[in-house]
A and B are shown apart, each in its own frame.
Chain A
Amino acid sequence: GIQVEQSPPDLILQEGANSTLRCNFSDSVNNLQWFHQNPWGQLINLFYIPSGTKQNGRLSATTVATERYSLLYISSSQTTDSGVYFCAVVGGGFKTIFGAGTRLFVKA
C-alpha cells in the first residue's frame, strides 16, 4: 500500500514565526487532505488539495502530485496553531492512509 511520511515529527516555534510541514507519499493518489487535530482531539479540515496551491488566511498548501509531495505553510504562527497536523491520502484502492503527523507547539 501507499506509504505516507510527514516531516518534521515535532516542531517548536516562537509565536509569529513561519513554518513548512512536508508530506511525502509513495504512489499516485486520487486526493489529499491536510487536517489539524486540536488538543481536544477534533480533526479539523484545513485543505483538500490533490494538486495545485490553495490559501486560507495564514495557511497555504501546495501539492506537486507528479513528485509525490505536499507542503503546508503556516505564517505568523499563533499559540492556537498548536496541535498535530496530519496529511491523509487516498490511493487507487480508495483506502485512506494517514501520516504519523507533525506535532507543533507554538510558544507565546
Chain B
Amino acid sequence: EAGVAQSPRYKIIEKRQSVAFWCNPISGHATLYWYQQILGQGPKLLIQFQNNGVVDDSQLPKDRFSAERLKGVDSTLKIQPAKLEDSAVYLCASRLTRGPNSYNEQFFGPGTRLTVL
C-alpha cells in the first residue's frame, strides 16, 4: 500500500515570495492534516480536512496561509507572502476516518523542508 506522498521535498525561497506544497494521502483516507514542524519542536497542527471540508483551522495563520482539498483527495497548502519564521518542515498526514470511536492511526508523509531567506 502506497504511503502519503508529498512534494516538493525541499524548497528555498526569499521572504515575501509565495510557495505551494502538495500532498496525496493514502487511498481511501477521509481525513487529511497539515502540520508545521519548527526545528527542535513537535509538529503543530495547522489544518484538518474531513473529505473536502475543513473541520479545524484554528492554528492556521489565515492572513498568509491557505489550504484546499478539492474532490476530497489531494491537498495543497500555500503561503503568500512567506516570512522568515515560516522556515520549517511541513508535514502532511492522513487517517481513515475522524470520529471519536474510530480508533485508527495517522500516517505521515516525508515532509517538505522550507527555507525562507
Q: Which residues of A does B touch, CB under 8 Å?
A: 30-31, 33, 35, 40-43, 45, 48, 50, 86, 88, 92-101
CB pair A96 B106 closer than 8 Å: yes
B110 within 8 A of A: yes
Instruction: Tell me how many residues of B have a C-beta within 8 Å of chain A.
Output: 24
Number of A-B contacts (CB under 8 A): 53
CA A94 to CA B107, docked complex, whole Å:
16
Our pick among B45, B103, B105, B110 for the contact of A42 (Cβ within 8 Å) is B110
Q: Which residues of B does A touch, CB under 8 Å?
A: 33, 41-45, 48, 55-56, 58, 89, 91, 93, 98, 100, 103-108, 110-111, 113
Beyond A41-B113, A42-B110, is A98–B44 a contact (Cβ under 8 Å)? yes
What residues of chain A lie closer than 8 Å to B89, measured between beta carbons?
41
CB pair A42 B108 closer than 8 Å: yes
Beyond A94-B55, A95-B56, A96-B33, is A45–B107 a contact (Cβ under 8 Å)? yes
CA A88 to CA B35, docked complex, whole Å:
12
CB pair B45 A30 closer than 8 Å: no
What residues of chain B lie closer than 8 Å to A92, measured between beta carbons?
100
